[in-house]
């Protein structure tokens, strides 16, 4: 099954947008975020992605999930690079 780039991009963008605008709480739940991310990847058939949650002062969470490709992909970690576009407005907040 071939997974389209646009579908993967929409999913990655959705997660990035959701994570970036979600309110930061004092008791950040990394395990809950990991479960949420894994469920979303299964639902949208995303082979791999990296997630980071940051504040102005610190990195609260960074983790890679899955593989870089559906077939013969390498494991994703927090240092894996992905192509992104039009995220400047979200990041500037």
Average pLDDT along the chain? 77
Can you read off the two tokens belonging to residue 23? Answer: 């309110």
pLDDT in tens, 1-33: 445 555 666 666 666 655 554 555 456 788 999
Give the rounded percent of residues in the chain with a pLDDT score beyond 90: 27
Closest of 50, 52, 59 to residue 80, by C-alpha:
50
Q: Is the pTM of this model over 0.95?
A: no
Q: What is the mean pLDDT of residues 33-59?
A: 90
Enumerate residues 6+ apart whose C-beta is below 8 A from 42. none
Q: What is the mean predicted confidence (pLDDT) over 50-77? A: 89
- What are the structural domain ranges in the chain? 5-92
Mean pLDDT for the stretch of residues 33-48 = 92
């Amino acid at each position: 099954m071939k997974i389209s780039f646009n579908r993967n991009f929409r999913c990655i963008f959705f997660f990035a947008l959701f994570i970036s605008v979600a309110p930061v709480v004092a008791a950040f739940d990394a395990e809950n975020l990991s479960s949420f991310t894994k469920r979303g990847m299964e639902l949208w058939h995303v082979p791999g992605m990296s997630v980071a949650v940051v504040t102005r002062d610190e990195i609260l969470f960074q983790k890679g999930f899955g593989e870089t490709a559906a077939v013969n992909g390498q494991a994703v970690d927090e240092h894996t690079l992905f192509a992104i576009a039009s995220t400047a407005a979200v990041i500037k907040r």
